[in-house]
Amino acid sequence: MDITIGVQNLPREIVVETDLTADEASAAVAAALAGRPALELTDSRGRRVIVPTAGIGYVEIGAESKGRVGFGTI
């Protein structure tokens, strides 16, 4: 699943590909916004991404995607 984080005063977004479910990601974001100083996520390669809560503009939690099999449109 992709999680896109918009940071205030930055032109680019942070995109994290993680193995979390939508509910787990939503809970992590809600906990960070409820008083924690930072949002901490772990991506699918095991790297930690830490974003200060004060700088978060928005968080977009993508749909859970499953592996695609087959050919694209011809």
Counting Cβ atoms within 10 Å, is residue 58 exposed (0-12), middle (13-18) or buried (19+)? Answer: exposed
pLDDT value, residue 74: 59
Q: How many other CB atoms sit within 10 Å of the CB of residue 13?
A: 13
**What is the pLDDT, as a whole number, of residue 71?**
73
Q: Has residue 65 got a pLDDT over 90?
A: no
Find tokens 């694209």 and name the residue: 72
Tokens, residue 20: 């979390």
Domain ranges of the chain: 2-61
pLDDT of 9: 92
- 7-53 residue pLDDT tens: 999 999 999 999 999 999 999 999 999 989 999 999 999 999 999 99
